[in-house]
Structures are given as structure tokens and as C-alpha cells.
Structure 1
């Protein structure tokens, strides 16, 4: 443990931490006492017990550790909660009108934010320990720490009706990271829910994934369906995907609090030109090597080529453009059964009944996979 030779006053200490956080590129820094009661744990238990976590089994497996910050680390006393603004320059919903282009969620159009934030968190943690001493631990998204309730506790905003964090200064566009420490840091005032009667985020959801305000059924959420779900997406949701091929920004983008936020200034999080509005036809042609090259250092890479092309084929089917059958047809012979099944569904959306019947008959004669056959029948 590193000890400090001169201990600043509590107020000065928090100010110095905020100054260093800003120097490292964080847009906001706040503090919370992690030993207080944690009502968010009850909501999480209800979410898992209702099965609304879907295939995200790791949520159930780590439920006890997620129940309270001190369940992650009993010695923790305070949390330093950091945020990076990633508000896009343009309206992300405008891309939904270009049906032949793929809509990738704003957060996944640049470099992987986990890498960016983790490197800055570690730098801040080294500075913090060197300056003030005390043990600490760093967390960013992938660890079982409930960061949105923690950010609310630190006064960075509140969890809106879409269950995401809403900030008066940054709207719904904040990446979060946290440092737990044994230091006694003066906590900020807890955020106060300020959604009022607004339900724009609830009404914007294409699949009605919110059973009630402040509740999410992940099994209906397009972000879950296109990213976490490993098999075919249920047929009832496919038309609602539109051209969304990775994630969904609808509930975030319509939040009225966004009008107070400026566009994010972090260059590494800015959209890559190749990912702002890629053509579905080009994306459907990706093999594994091409997929890995296109999404190098990008969060899309983690779902793999087959799951991604599955999403692209659903989007192609939703265009209703028979000309785009040329992009679907090669995937009917794809090595992946998941891809072939999605291609079969897209063919049914793009071909006229007679042409579809002919293709269907030919494919059923050679298709052995039961799930793909089910798509044809």
C-alpha cells in the first residue's frame, strides 16, 4: 500500500481527483459512498427471476456479486464514477430511412470504448493511489458492478424510464467506468429522477421491450436480439429490426435531455467512415477474414461473423427490394446454418411467391439442418 506524506482536506482531495480525471479525458467525475443500502439489487433480482435476462446467463450466475458494490469487494468505502460523452454529431435515427444501409449503434461505430475507458481508469487509479494511497479496484462494464445505479448514487444523473442513465448535461450519451477505493471520499448528492410524464423512450421502442416505465425485458430488446442472442432471432421481431444490424439507439436518441448535450469530442470514439452507413450488400458478402478486418478494435467483432451476417440478412429481407436478392442468394449456400436460415427468411421477403416456391423446393431437397428446414417451411 502506498501512503501519502501529506493528506489534503477532503474537499481539496475531491477537487484534485476531478482535475486529474478531466486531464485524462473524462467528461465527468463524481463520488459515492458504496456502503449505503442498495435498492437496485431488488430490481435486478426481479429482472432475473422473471427471466427477462434471456440468454445472458452470466447475469444470473453473478447475481449475488451484483447485489451491492461491497459484494464485489467488502473493504470498499467509496466509488469514483467517471463518464465519457459519446453523443453523435448527427441524428442516429436518420440512418433508419436508408433501408439498403446497415444501422450500427452509435457506441459501436468507432474503437471499442472498453479499451479506451479502461486505459484511462488505470491511469487515474495509478495517480490516485500514488497521491493518496489506499487499495482500489477498477471496473468498466464487463465486471459485475451495477454502474448505472452507482452513477445515479454519485449524482451523475438518474436511471430513466428506458433504464439507461440520463444526465442533465449529457443526455443519454455517457460511457461509464468506476474505481472502488478504501478511501473516505465526500459523496455527491444522489441524482433525482427527472423524467416527469415523458414517455418518449418507451413509445420509440420498435419491439415494445418496456413492460412498464423503468423496466426492461431484454428478450424483446433489439440490442439483446442482435448482440446477445446466439440463435435465430424470433420471427415476430424480425420485421421490427428494420435495418438495425447491431444494437438500437431509438430509446436513447429520442430522450429530450439530449438537447442539452454537446457532441462528444473523443476522436477514438468517433464513427469510422466505413461503419457510418455501410451497404447491406457489402456486409452480406463478408467472410470471416473480411469481418475481422472491418471490425478490428471494434465491439462488433465479439459477436462473430455468422451472428452479424444473420442480422444483415434480416435487414436485407426488410428492404423489400427484389434486386437485393442478389446479395442473399450466395448466403443460401453458406457454411453456417445460422446464416442459411436467415437467408431463407430473407428470400421469402424478397421473392414473388412463384420464384420463392421454386427456390424453396430446390433448397429443401439438399438441406439437412432442421432449423434451416424450419425456416423454409
Structure 2
């Protein structure tokens, strides 16, 4: 089944444009068409004005839900009001690039030396998505500047700046923020990566998508660590994705048993979402090859814990070169793998885990002792 992709979302409106004033609409449509031509699946435009949604980040941080992500708190003013990040900003151009659902597991061959594979988030590909998206995003900004005669300021971000991408994506009509806080598109689901171009032009804005979660609680009920304080509110302190990627600290012993075999990120709240059942791997066109660059690295698709735990830092660097897996750092991945080992019940991992228990890294040694007590 091939799904429709590569189209702007929704009807367009503007606070200052009228039917008798088509140039702004034409410019906005050309910008979105250019985004699609560059390989993105979705494109929309919205106002950069602060809103209740952007202001909520301050309350979210105040509640402690940002955990140890100090970079969010340090620049919360800019997240709340983009004009503090870029004076003169008027519009935000948002693009989306869908990535494939998790690949089917390979059939067992009977030759495996271990039955304890890890899982990593489905967005992790052979190339880091930041790099894959930033190149065409910059090309979009350059193309935009060429479309207007006067000066225009732009700034591009792919999940790296103090910008609330999902808030602006929802405002630009790319989807709605689901109860699991992910952006959900009715056709593409939530497996979509976002990028933004901040722009000084007053462009025509798209209409936000309605919330289609209804009474569904699948994501909330499936989360093994109860990371959702309430619908639409995630407590990062309990989130497997945060704890295996962003956190540099030890994982709460009370949560480790619920981490299962996740060693980098977590897809559970997306896997159970009904809106993600409409797609299969390889069902979207990829005219510019962007999605292909996000294809999983075969060596990391259900990689065996025996192999992961045997990696030294040099081998880890070679195995993660150019990948988003670098985000957790070597120490973080070993921490995560030790937790997965403790959850595996695989006594064949004892010798490898004992090596960490006897090591000089006190955090890894503590996680290794926890794992040994369960093996």
C-alpha cells in the first residue's frame, strides 16, 4: 500500500491577506511547494506569536518534568517567545519527514549464540536525522530568500535550538499533538521528524489540525513506567526515552525493570497508537532519497547484548559513526545495555556484566551489580 505524501496541509488563512491580495498566498504556496520538492513529506506555515501552548513550557519545567535537561530551562524564555530568539520573526515554516516503522525482526536461524537482543528507537538510522534534514532545510531557506526582492532573515533548526517544533507543527496544520505528546498526522501517524525555518516575512498561515485522539488511552495505558502525568503531559523523569538518551545519571532502580530490552529510546507509546497502523515500512515515495538515508543500520537492528556489552569505546565510536546513537554516549549505552541484560534473564551474559561490576566507573558498576542480582 502506498500512502499519499508530499502535500501541504489544510486551508490557508492570514490575518492580513484578503482575496484581493493574492501575492502573499502565492508566496506561501511556493514556499511549501519548494519544501515538498526538496523531499519533505509535509510543509506548513504558522504565526510565531507566543500562545498558551508555548507558555506551558515554563509550567512544565517548574513541575520538574524536564528532569536534568537544564538546556531547556536555561532558554525557556526563547522557547516561550521566539522573538527573543530571533527579533523580527513573524512566521515559522514547519516541515515533516516521515521515517519508516520498525523493521520486522529477522527469522531465527538457529545459529544465534544469544537470545537477548536490544531494541532502539525506530527513528535511528544509518545517518543522524539532524544531518539528513538540515541540508534540504537550509536549501529551503535559501530558496525562500530568492523568492522575495527585499531582505529576509531566516534561521533553520532540526531539534537543536530553543524552539517548540511540535507546537508550531500543530499550529501549521501538520497534525495535532497527541496524548503521548507526539505530533500525529492522519495519514503518516506520529513517525515523523520535524524541522523549522524561522522567518521575518509575514506569510499566509495554515489552519491547525483538530485533535483526533478522542477517548483513546492506548498510549497512556501502555507506558510501562507511567511517564504520563496526565494526557498530553509527559514527565521526562519516568520516560524510557529520556532515561536512555538524554540522562547522564544512573537510571532509577524502581524503573529499571520496566525498561525491558530498550537500550536507546522507546517506541511503545507510538507502537500502540491506532494512527500508526496505517503505514508499513517502504510504503512512501522517497524521490530525494532522504528516507533512505534514515534506513536502519543492519548491525543495530536487534543487536545482541553479547555484542553490545563487548564493545570498548573505540569500537562503539566506529559502530555509531554518523548515527544519532552517539547522543547517549558510550557510557550511557553501556548503562542501558546493563539494565537490558538484567531484564533478559540470560545467564550467558554474566561474565560480561561481571567485567563492568569490577570496573572503575561507579555508575556502571552499580548497574552491573543490579543486573547480576537478576541473572
Common topology (TM > 0.5): yes
1:245 Cα deviation after fit: 0.4
Instruction: Indicate the structure whose relative CO is greater, using CA pairs within 8 Å and at least 6 residues apart.
Output: 2
1:8 Cα deviation after fit: 7.8
Distance (Å, rounded) in 1 between the aligned partners of 2:256 and 2:116: 16
8 A Cα contact 1:21 1:124, kept in partner: yes
1:10 Cα deviation after fit: 2.5
Aligned residues: 340
2:120 pairs with 96, 104, 112, which one? 104
In the alignment, structure 1 segments of 5+ residues that lack a partner are 1-6, 351-377
1:127 pairs with 143, 161, 178, which one? 143
Q: How does the TM-score come out when normalised to structure 2?
A: 0.86
Cα separation, partners in 2 of 1:48 and 1:290, compared to 1, 3 Å: same
In the alignment, structure 2 segments of 5+ residues that lack a partner are 1-20, 108-113
Pairing of 1:246-265 with structure 2 (within 5 A): 246-261=264-279, 263=281, 265=286
1:74 pairs with 65, 87, 107, which one? 87
Confirm whether residue 191 of structure 1 aligns to residue 209 of structure 2: yes
Confirm whether residue 118 of structure 1 aligns to residue 134 of structure 2: yes
Choose 1 or 2 for highest CA Rg: 1
Confirm whether residue 271 of structure 1 aligns to residue 296 of structure 2: yes
1:69 Cα deviation after fit: 2.3
Distance (Å, rounded) in 2 between the aligned partners of 1:261 and 1:13: 32
Q: How does the TM-score come out when normalised to structure 1?
A: 0.86
After the TM superposition, list the runs of 4 or more consecutive aligned residues in structure 1 that deviate by more than 6 angstroms.
none
SS of match in other structure, 2:136 = helix
Confirm whether residue 329 of structure 1 aligns to residue 370 of structure 2: no
Distance (Å, rounded) in 1 between the aligned partners of 2:319 and 2:302: 13
User: What residue number does 2:161 align with?
Assistant: 143
Distance (Å, rounded) in 1 between the aligned partners of 2:153 and 2:58: 30
Q: Which has the higher helix share?
A: 1
Q: For residues 260-284 of structure 1, give each alpha carbon's deviation from its aligned partner in whole angstroms, at most 9, with x where no partner exists.
A: 3454541110101001110001100
User: What residue number does 2:39 align with?
Assistant: 25
Q: For residues 317-364 of structure 1, give each alpha carbon's deviation from its aligned partner in whole angstroms, at most 9, with x where no partner exists.
A: 1111222213312222334222222111111111xxxxxxxxxxxxxx
User: What residue number does 2:225 align with?
Assistant: 207
User: What residue number does 2:6 align with?
Assistant: none
Confirm whether residue 83 of structure 1 aligns to residue 113 of structure 2: no
User: What residue number does 1:360 align with?
Assistant: none
Cα separation, partners in 2 of 1:54 and 1:232, compared to 1, 3 Å: same
User: What residue number does 2:73 align with?
Assistant: 60
1:15 Cα deviation after fit: 2.5
1:229 Cα deviation after fit: 1.7
Distance (Å, rounded) in 1 between the aligned partners of 2:153 and 2:56: 30
Distance (Å, rounded) in 2 between the aligned partners of 1:302 and 1:285: 19
8 A Cα contact 1:75 1:182, kept in partner: yes
Root-mean-square deviation (Å): 2.0
8 A Cα contact 2:91 2:198, kept in partner: yes
